[in-house]
Amino acid sequence: MTKTILLTGASGYVGGHIIREALARGYSVRAVVRTEASGTKTKAQFADAGLSYVVIPDISTADAYEGKLDGVTAIIHTASPFVLAPKDNVKDLLDPAVKGAVAVLEAAGRFGTSALKRVVFTSSFAAVGNFGAPDYQPGRVFTEADWNPATWDEAAATTNGSFAYCASKAFAERAMWDWMKEHPSVAFDLVSLNPAWIFGPYVTDPAGIEQLGESSKAVYAVLGSDKVQDPDFCGCADVRDVADAHLAALETPAAGGRRFILSHAFNWQRAADASREAVPELRGRIPEGTPGSWPETYTVDGGRAVEVLGIRYRPLTETFGDAYRQLVRVEGLS
């Protein structure tokens, strides 16, 4: 019997790579999209009989999934609001993230069949790190045992959109684990993946630079910059490795009930060094900085995913080399 994945956030950066990898492994994918136009575009992008879509304009309630889970053997929930300049932190970020996450589990419990065995949630290192710390936290090693310590009141009141977003990921993930504890008799289990900053190429070239997501905008902004940016998030994962991890999370029995950080060492100087090596034709546009030199910062331990899920992290030369080659093509279209 063909295994069918229900995938939220299917039209997104990560979602596209998950679709491609899942289809390549012989899965059927039922993509959740907000509009008919988005579904048509997503289906045309892959042109594979194993891909279908369902339109759910609002994923914040379990009722929206009624009739959508027939035959589904697994759910991958990647959809979550990504707003770095919210007008209202609670309305634009916190509530939608939590409600959308819990709704998936409630829907799985109410409408899923006995064939549904696992839900994989795309959380984030944002749910792990301490982003209110005043410095780089040198010597600190973050693992799956750590949680972002932000409180709801802090996240609701902050004027720092990035802080609020990071908190929203923690609240959403905690809400899912709490739901699972409160419903121990359900037939499925939960896996959470916590990737750090995600870089790498899109499945297909975007129509123009204006179509880039936040991480790709940050990579593109390096071109022509006069200096290497100071460290910010000190871990990253290639989008293709993140997609691989989602499928491995479905296929690895030992993954059930666990969190997995997806990350290896990153800072902008490391990225500059790797990029200048991978795409030497862009050395005139990528600042050199001080090769091999950066301040001591916290580190992110992504080893559990290697050990349990069996993934391998692509080197930065591959991630940024492929990203820049695509960005240059897209730049020529803009």
* Residue 67 pLDDT: 96
DSSP 264: B
Which carries the bigger pLDDT value, residue 245 or residue 81? Answer: 245
Confidence grade of residue 78 (pLDDT, cut at 50, 70, 90): very high
pLDDT digits (tens, 9 = 90+) for 123-166: 999 999 988 777 889 999 999 999 999 999 999 999 999 999 99
* Residue 130 pLDDT: 86
Q: Mind giving me the DSSP string for 223-266?
A: TT-SSPPPP-S--EEEHHHHHHHHHHHHH-GGGTT-EEEE-B--
Q: Which residues face 119 on adjacent strands?
A: 75, 190
Query: Which two tokens mark 61?
Result: 């309630």
Q: Is the pLDDT of residue 80 over 90?
A: no
* Residue 83 pLDDT: 81
From the number of C-beta atoms within 10 Å of its C-beta (0-12, 13-18, 19+), residue 209 rates as middle
Q: Is the pLDDT of residue 333 over 70?
A: no
Q: What are phi and psi of 273, to 5 degrees?
A: -60, -45
Mean pLDDT of all residues in 4-25: 97
Q: Is 227 a catalytic residue?
A: no
* Residue 71 pLDDT: 95
Confidence grade of residue 233 (pLDDT, cut at 50, 70, 90): confident
Q: Which residues face 52 on adjacent strands?
A: 30
* Residue 65 pLDDT: 97
Average pLDDT, the chain: 95
Q: What are phi and psi of 247, to 5 degrees?
A: -70, -40
What's the CA gap between 111 and 310, in Å, rounded?
32
Q: Is the pLDDT of residue 172 over 60?
A: yes
Q: Is the pLDDT of residue 119 over 70?
A: yes
Looking at the chain, the number of H-run helices and the number of E-run strands are 11, 11
What's the CA gap between 79 and 282, in Å, rounded?
34
What's the CA gap between 4 and 242, in Å, rounded?
19
Confidence grade of residue 332 (pLDDT, cut at 50, 70, 90): confident
Mean pLDDT of all residues in 219-238: 93
Confidence grade of residue 334 (pLDDT, cut at 50, 70, 90): low
Candidates 313, 318, 319; CA nearest to 300 is: 313
- Judging by DSSP bridges, how do beta strands 51-55 and 28-33 pair with one another? parallel
Catalytic annotation, pick one of 3, 43, 68, 169: 169
Q: Is the pLDDT of residue 14 over 80?
A: yes
Q: Which residues face 190 on adjacent strands?
A: 119
Q: Is the pLDDT of residue 174 over 70?
A: yes
* Residue 17 pLDDT: 98
Mean pLDDT of all residues in 107-131: 96
| CB neighbour list of residue 315: distance below 8 Å, 6 or more residues apart | 274
What's the CA gap between 11 and 202, in Å, rounded?
11
- Using the Cα atoms of residue 20, residue 187, residue 34 and residue 236 in order, give the sign of their dihedral: negative
Mean pLDDT of all residues in 166-185: 97
Element (H, E) at 39: helix 36-46
Mean pLDDT of all residues in 232-242: 95
Q: Is the pLDDT of residue 231 over 90?
A: no
DSSP 99: H
Candidates 77, 310, 319, 23; CA nearest to 198 is: 319
What's the CA gap between 271 and 250, in Å, rounded?
31
* Residue 6 pLDDT: 98
Cβ count near 237 (within 10 Å): 30
148 close to 259: Cβ distance less than 8 angstroms: no
